[in-house]
Amino acid sequence: MSDRFLPIRRRDLLASSAASLALAPISLAKGANIAADALSVVKPVNLKINGADRLLTLDPRTTLLDALREHLKLTGTKKGCDHGQCGACTVIVNGQRINSCLTLAVQHAGDEVTTIEGLGAPGKLHAMQAAFVEHDGYQCGYCTPGQICSAVAMLGEIARGVPSHVSDDLGKKMTSSNPEIRERMSGNICRCGAYSNIAEAISQVAGA
């Protein structure tokens, strides 16, 4: 895109948003019993990412996803829709899969975050990563880190007895049948349509 279509430059935008940031606490402070340290425009946040403590200083607006990608350069976690609809940003926080785009980094001080980089690496793949390779559980690969993080935590949910929309009997042990896997993975969209192979890869790890 040519600059002549962009009378406002990105640098100007950044400067103006920084100015509005600086003003925010002044309007708030008027009638309030908000604690002084809450009014800071940046917050120190200690996150445990893939087992390592990482101290960041963040604008409270920073989502966990942007903290991972832009501040920690952990770009394995992907930004798809940025609205919780596609699942590309799925990470595991304290053992639970969540959409990292729909949560603020400051909400996760002290939490343990596992990203695709923490699950495995070339040469020491997590079983789910290896199964995705074996079954061609992707084409372009963009949704894959989210699919894999989601699948790993999803099998944990089955093991803990979390039911699903397609579980017939709430009194019985939850299974990892193909319909169960498909329903439980519905928060992860694959634009290439690799679903059947994704389901096979997950089934293999589940031992189904």
Q: Interface residues with other proteins (CB under 8 A)? A: 17, 20-21, 24-25, 27-28, 31-35, 37-41, 43, 59-61, 63, 82-84, 87, 90, 96-99, 102-104, 106-107, 150, 153-154, 157, 160-165, 167, 170-171, 182-188
**Closer Cβ to other proteins, 57 or 121, answer by number:** 57
- Least distance (Å) between residue 3 CB and other proteins: 25
Q: Which is nearer to other proteins, 89 or 194 (CB)?
A: 89
Give the distance from CA 2 to its chain's centroid.
Answer: 33
Chain centroid to Cα 104, Å, comes to 11
Which of 149, 152, 151, 181 lies closest to 165 in space, CA to CA?
181
* Cβ at position 34, least distance to other proteins in Å: 6
Q: Which is nearer to other proteins, 135 or 184 (CB)?
A: 184
Report how far residue 107's alpha carbon sits from residue 45's, in angstroms, rounded to the nearest whole number.
9
- Measured from the CB of residue 130, what is the shortest distance to other proteins in angstroms? 22
In the complex with other proteins, the residue whose CB is nearer, 4 or 165, is 165
**Facing residues of 54 across strands?**
47
The strand order across the sheet containing 90-93 reads: 52-58, 43-49, 112-114, 90-93, 96-99
